[in-house]
Structure 1
Amino acid sequence: MNHETLQRFYALNAAAIENVYDKPERQADLAVLRQKLPELLRGHKVLEIACGTGYWTRLIGASAASVHAIDVNEEALALARARQPANDEGGNVTFAQADAFDLPAAIGEYTAVFAGFWWSHVKREEQERFLAQLRAKLGKDVLLVLLDNVYVDGSSTVIARTDLEGNTYQFRTLPSGERLEIVKNFPTDSYLRKKLAAAVKEIRIERWQYYWLLTARLK
């Protein structure tokens, strides 16, 4: 699995990305997160990484001072722009095409960076590089917020295999019926604390049945 496979999956499946938030068993957790996340980022100048179709952008935009949401897929961004409330786009919410692994040199000044359901797609051996880039381009003391999935039997897509680095993979099906193997990791709290320790401080982690939320500050 490489970055191109992940990009292809989200490009060709953009219209269905938000369907996962319709699962009945996840509604209680999502109700909590829909309140908690806007409060965490209230008043912040937010860089949102891998915004997809903008589900969380729409929530954050209601409370943040500004949101600059980036994604590598123009297909997803087109939907994000279309779904963003008309009074926000071009105001406190803006979108741009950019690679999370290769952020523009002049990315801008932000007080917070948010990545929803992105960390799980970053291979373990690439996570330090990703964090180092955030520190180099955003600076210290910026609030980092990561939101992602907990693996739950019967609700999560079954894990197909684990590689030598400990990355886990799932098969995802495109509308055409084609199956793609996608990296999808489900880290423990101890793994997250160890992996992020060199890059961040003040780590806090909360877990619900289906999701986990990490906050910290870049060193």
Structure 2
Amino acid sequence: GNIVQVLYTSYTKDGNVHDTNHGSTPLEFKVGSKQVLSVFEYGVRGLQVGQTRRIKFNCTNMFPYDPALVMYINEKDMPEGVREGLWIELESGAKGKVVSVEHNFATVDFNSPLADVDVLDFDIRLVRIVDPIDRPPLTFHSDIDNDETLEERERHIQTIVNYLEGLRLSIRGVEPERIPDRALNPDYRKGQDIVRELTPDMLANDLDLDLNSESSPIRMRDPLTDKIYTPDPQLFGEAYL
């Protein structure tokens, strides 16, 4: 998966802001690595840079509140400038929210920000793909048909590329109504013959193409002409908006 950066704001069911990183450093994580809450993993699927998605996150009982995690910390053991309401991180890596500061001691709550929260609405915006997959183009493997004109061969390959791109967008969460029917139902006879045989295992093993992690549009090279084929922009333009 790609390394991505997102900005987010979460809202409680009454519409109040629960947490946000707008105005600070974007959250960075590798998709599929389970480094972050699942809401972020699902939230970025199918998004293009600059797009925002709202997603509901059910966190009931995920982080029960534990009174034992509210602790008194000597001020000398904390970062400078500690004040009420500030989130701090100790040298041990523990993160907590300062509840109060008095008499050189601070009361710090190390419970999760999601403790005892039932449902949150997240607005997740993809701001950057840090490490896009830049894979070489696929190679079109097919016997040369002497009865096939070059124009027919080009249409044949373009049909396959469009079909694979339609699958890629579908798997990555693009809404079905934005993926043209012709992309998933090829209209060229020889293209149909090939795509009917393409199973997920064949794509992964024979073409080294895992559509679950494929982040960039499909490209395919014809070894006969050395031409690179990409998805038809007139067919897929709407899917990238």
Which category of TM-score, normalised to the shorter sequence, fits these structures? under 0.3
Larger helix share, 1 or 2: 1
Higher RCO (C-alpha under 8 Å, 6+ residues apart): 2
Query: How does the TM-score come out when normalised to structure 1?
Result: 0.22
Query: How does the TM-score come out when normalised to structure 2?
Result: 0.21
